[in-house]
Structure 1
Amino acid sequence: MAEIIQLEVKNGDKPTNLSFTDDILSFEVEKKNFKSINKLISIHSRNILSVTLDKSNDVLRVVIEAIVPKGKLKLKLKTYSFEAIDEEAVQSWINTINLAAYKDAKKAKHFKVFINPIGGSGKANKVFNKLVKPIFDAAKCTYDITMTNRSNHAKEIANKLDLKSYDAIVSVSGDGIIHEIINGLLSRNDAAEIDIPIGVIPAGTGNALSICLLGNDHGISVPHAALNIIKGVPMKIDVCSVTQGDERYFAFMSLNYGILADGDISTDHLRWMKDFRFVLGTVQALLGDRNYDCELAMKVVEDNTERIKQRYNNAYNSSSPSSVTKSKTLIDEYGTINDPTPQEWTKLNGDGYIFFASKVPWISRNNLVFPFALPSDGLLDLMVVKRDKISKTKVANILQAFNDASHVNMKEVIYYKVEALRLKPINKENGYISIDGERAEFKPFQVEVHPKLINIISMDGKYSYS
């Protein structure tokens, strides 16, 4: 039987007990307008932000700040205050509860925060001040804020930032600012030694990484994301190097050519439509009968969907889900796009509808495109849908099946695990290539996975189960 840790306090003029057992803090408060009836409050330790002893007034008070469930999907910041009776007993009880609340996570973190004021629907600054700041303050976290005002602003600052001054870097935006931060960190002279984690507040059009961390239901919930940053610990993720021409940069999320890239990039001016713009753009690309002829070469590790699924389940349920044995390095083992294609690589040429690779399972809410993607398996998940006699109706069915990931069971969908790939569009001078949800130059590119280069803050040490 778990130990019950109790503290006697006063609620108004009435004595009451604060009880903690099995990671649950319980106490009674008076119901509003029903003074003779008490309401039982139960708060899980992971939802406790801080427990402090307030000595600012003549009466000592125990102050509990927590973020508690409101309905099935929402969280609400709440403060509870009780009169202390025995100061020595109170301080000992507070220390015990705070240790249980934070476990392996550091209390009172100091953050470098990047806010993109024009990203998504332009509400990131309001999101931070109204929703995030009160939660960070309740958890006694501190922060320095930079409002980004141009492309690559976050990248420039991350490249020169004194990382030792912060416990984490926090992005209040969509996935684009995360892309900038990662590229800024990995272009530093000390890139191989960097371990500062990145926290994610979903405040953009695309919030794929937040959805992967918190799940489809909670992925766009700002309070859930703030709690994840406060209580989470560093989780290593793989990052991909991308070479195009003489340029080299990094991608943490996705690489996309075909109707899905067209649907994303061609509707960038329609961000006010939110997720619906992707649907509109993809349908236009599909009905437009556009050509996506290309040369695809890849270092395949597995192409059997059942084996891929089994390895995913084994890794997800393992206490140490990563099986990568490669050492951390930024050096490209397979060279660049300008080098000859390795002879042992598998080649898949021809026209198709979808050539899509990703390191994350969800590409947006309700779009579980890569259900077997793992944060640090050293591999890239690749999906190909070729044009071979497949009807537009069938392609539409595949897109609709992203909702529950049933597309991976369709014979028209080819699913790979690869270490590297290169793609060269042919018979076409202009088009769209999307990398981490942003438009890239329309020219051949090569991608290679680099294991465990970056840390992301996660409460559970893994992506949400898919």
Structure 2
Amino acid sequence: MSNRDLLPQLASLGANGLIVPATKFKQSRTCASLFETRPEKIEIAYENILFAEPSEKDETSIKISYGDVSKTSCIPKTVVAAFDGGDPAAVADEIMQKAYGAAKPKKRFLILVNPNGGTGHAARVFKYASEPLLRAANCSLNVVETTHRYHAQEIGAEIPMDKYDAIMCCSGDGIPHEVINGMASRPEDGAQLLQSVAICQLPCGSGNSLSWSLNGTSSASIATLKMIKGRAIPVDYMAVTQGDKRVVSFLSQAWGLVADLDLGTEHLRWMGGARFTVGAIARIINRKAYPCEIAVKVHTRDVRELSKHYQKYIVDRVDPLSSEEIAKLDPNVFASLKYGSVNDPIPSDWEVSTSKEMANFYTGKMPWVSADSLAFPAAIPHDGLIDVMTWDGKVGRSDAVNLLVASETGRHIDLPVAGYMKIEAFRITPIGKSDYISIDGESFPIEPYQVEVLPRAGLYLAHEGTYIRSGFPFKKY
């Protein structure tokens, strides 16, 4: 053995990650690996580092926890390495700064697990795919399993103001809707709480819109890594008024085909995502229409303006309000509605039309509403506008099928048979009998309802500081 072999092999800080001697890593031995040249050093990307601290066993070394990321999963691992020069505590602090940047390390999470959501495996998914990564990142966890409908809403109404950085919803889209409305219901500090605690989602349901739009994945472990590294960003919510009811919507409102598919195919849930395809085919064949009066405050429907707007705002990084600014907010999130409620007269500058052949009027604030539906490719988290996807019953069956297929990738925005616009507010008044109104996937009475933006009323955890890029614009306009 040479003197060189007796010396400690040192790690170093690279531009994009830690450069660690390969001898620090275990290597599985296979017949093929016997003939492979093993690298002398391995790089651990800073974005995958969970935590760094001086080693308890060796005062000259640093213990580094990181996520070993593949295409479908992220597994927590640990390596202990020495660095040339410098105090280990100071080096560990530098590693943490490079690993987290503007994001907060050691986040305090309230974990809401819906055992009945989606496929019913949320508790198991959290325990095996998410919790090990959160522990490795030294996050603080309070895990609560919901036991009944609206339990998350009750929890949201009782959350201590300064106890958590984020609420992780281990569910589909129902739990985020509930907890946001619970938080908003607090008369003393509802608006303040929404601006202080970020919402995020561990994908455990059938839609998982938050996870797809903010993290671009349905992998629970990869989503966890991105939430650990995510930073709080201000986002718009939407105020829904119906009769005397006031509701905060974070995702979407649907009248027509999408509402029918969302709520009218519950008896086919055993089919998984195929239930939407089966339901859509049946309704397109029958040319089902959903008559209504529509009143809209339009911002733009010109695709060139939509393109410029998207490219301007998708790269815009906005910081949350300061504690001083939050303290000055009116606690009632509905106190300053620009257009009043559904019970007020329609403003004179709104466009009003009656459609006896409306097929779909679908509105929302997130690009992805599910893994296979990029319904709102031009959506921006904080632009103060609602995106609309619409078409009427005059669209032929083949065009309707093409439109639904195109909506999987967002390219319906370029089809002449579809309407797409950004609006400030709208009101739907049903005409005659209909089946469903869907707000964030929840069933609402078949009555007039009005929606407007609540600008930057809440917070999400976003790995990239904004939504995942949708690919829009899809061509030069």
Asked if Structure 1 and Structure 2 have the same fold, meaning a TM-score greater than 0.5 normalized by the shorter chain, the answer is yes
Amino acid at match of 2:105: K
- Given the alignment of the two structures, is residue 377 of structure 1 paired with residue 370 of structure 2, yes or no? no
* Closer, same or farther: CA 104–319 of 1 in aligned 2, 3 Å: closer
Structure 1 position 96, deviation (Å): 1.5
CA distance in 1, matches of 2:15, 2:42: 15
CA distance in 1, matches of 2:51, 2:399: 53
- Given the alignment of the two structures, is residue 40 of structure 1 paired with residue 41 of structure 2, yes or no? yes
CA distance in 2, matches of 1:239, 1:284: 33
Structure 1 position 415, deviation (Å): 1.3
Equivalences for residues 67-466 of structure 1 within 5 A: 67-70=67-70, 72-82=71-81, 89-189=87-187, 190-194=189-193, 195-215=196-216, 219-319=217-317, 330=334, 331-350=336-355, 351-388=357-394, 390-428=395-433, 430-466=434-470
1:66 alignment counterpart: 66
The 8 Å contact of residues 75 and 133 in structure 2, kept in 1 or not, is answered as no
The 8 Å contact of residues 263 and 284 in structure 1, kept in 2 or not, is answered as no
CA distance in 1, matches of 2:268, 2:459: 32
Structure 1, gaps ≥5 residues long: 1-10
The 8 Å contact of residues 205 and 271 in structure 1, kept in 2 or not, is answered as no
Structure 1 position 244, deviation (Å): 1.3
Structure 1 position 142, deviation (Å): 1.5
Structure 1 position 224, deviation (Å): 2.1
Amino acid at match of 2:230: G
Q: Deviations over 1:251-281 (max 9, x none)?
A: 0110001112111111223334332222222
The 8 Å contact of residues 12 and 83 in structure 2, kept in 1 or not, is answered as no
Q: Deviations over 1:356-411 (max 9, x none)?
A: 001111111131111111111111011220123x2111101000011222211111
Amino acid at match of 1:253: L
Structure 1 position 58, deviation (Å): 7.6
* Closer, same or farther: CA 58–29 of 1 in aligned 2, 3 Å: closer
Structure 2, gaps ≥5 residues long: 321-328, 471-477
* Closer, same or farther: CA 58–290 of 1 in aligned 2, 3 Å: closer
The 8 Å contact of residues 17 and 27 in structure 1, kept in 2 or not, is answered as yes
Secondary structure of the corresponding residue to residue 423 of structure 2: strand
Amino acid at match of 2:65: E
The 8 Å contact of residues 264 and 281 in structure 1, kept in 2 or not, is answered as no
Amino acid at match of 2:401: A
The 8 Å contact of residues 264 and 282 in structure 1, kept in 2 or not, is answered as no
CA distance in 1, matches of 2:39, 2:305: 55
The 8 Å contact of residues 358 and 392 in structure 2, kept in 1 or not, is answered as yes
CA distance in 1, matches of 2:316, 2:84: 45
CA distance in 1, matches of 2:12, 2:86: 17
**Percent of paired sites with the same residue:** 34
Higher mean displacement: 12-21 or 233-242: 12-21
Amino acid at match of 1:234: A
Aligned residues: CA RMSD: 2.5
The 8 Å contact of residues 10 and 83 in structure 2, kept in 1 or not, is answered as no
Normalized per residue, which structure has more strand?
A: 1
CA distance in 1, matches of 2:161, 2:260: 37
Secondary structure of the corresponding residue to residue 162 of structure 2: helix
Structure 1 position 177, deviation (Å): 0.4
CA distance in 2, matches of 1:155, 1:61: 46
Amino acid at match of 1:44: A
Give the total of aligned pairs: 445
CA distance in 2, matches of 1:28, 1:401: 48
2:323 alignment counterpart: none
Amino acid at match of 1:346: E
2:18 alignment counterpart: 25
The 8 Å contact of residues 158 and 181 in structure 1, kept in 2 or not, is answered as yes
* Closer, same or farther: CA 99–442 of 1 in aligned 2, 3 Å: same
Higher mean displacement: 408-417 or 61-70: 61-70
* Closer, same or farther: CA 39–343 of 1 in aligned 2, 3 Å: same
Structure 1 position 68, deviation (Å): 2.5
The 8 Å contact of residues 359 and 391 in structure 2, kept in 1 or not, is answered as yes
Structure 1 position 450, deviation (Å): 0.9
CA distance in 2, matches of 1:145, 1:342: 46
CA distance in 2, matches of 1:300, 1:19: 55
Q: Deviations over 1:35-79 (max 9, x none)?
A: 994553211111100122332x58875322111222x45433222
CA distance in 2, matches of 1:272, 1:124: 17
CA distance in 2, matches of 1:49, 1:228: 10
CA distance in 1, matches of 2:8, 2:109: 39
* Closer, same or farther: CA 433–39 of 1 in aligned 2, 3 Å: farther
Using structure 1 for the length normalisation, give the TM-score.
0.89
Amino acid at match of 2:208: N
The 8 Å contact of residues 263 and 283 in structure 1, kept in 2 or not, is answered as no
